[in-house]
Amino acid sequence: MTQLSQPHRTRILPPSSVDPQEVQLQQSKQRILANRCRPLFERLRPNLIETHYNWYIAIDPDTEEYLLDQTLQGITRQIRIAYSGDEVKLTIFRLNDTGTCGRLWV
């Protein structure tokens, strides 16, 4: 009688080819951008929350311009149109009590 061998276990996805240091650098850049946008969001929120509650807002910290849309898909479409081809440096918030769009930074 032959003995069955254990099945070979593999990852569902292949290992990431991205350097972990590069990932940390990108995350650091994202946090810095978010920290630049947060004061602008806090200044805009009281005026916009009454008429656009739970809408998405994308803020450009350099120009202080912003885009508004009811859906995440809509705001990303607006960003692509407004910043076609350029490197986009915006942060998306939600016009609610916390400003969170579903991802919490600890």
Tell me the CA distances in angstroms from 11 to 8, 15, 16, 22, one per residue in order: 10, 8, 11, 22
Backbone phi, psi, residue 51, to 5°: -100, -15
Q: How far apart are alpha carbons 69 and 74 in whole angstroms?
A: 6
- Quick: pLDDT tens for 31-57: 999 999 999 999 999 999 999 999 999
pLDDT at 25: 93
Q: Which residues of the chain have pLDDT under 70?
A: 1-11, 86, 101-106
State the pairing for strand pair 66-69/91-94: unpaired
Structural domain boundaries in the chain: 21-94
Q: ∠58-61-65 over CA atoms, to 5°?
A: 55
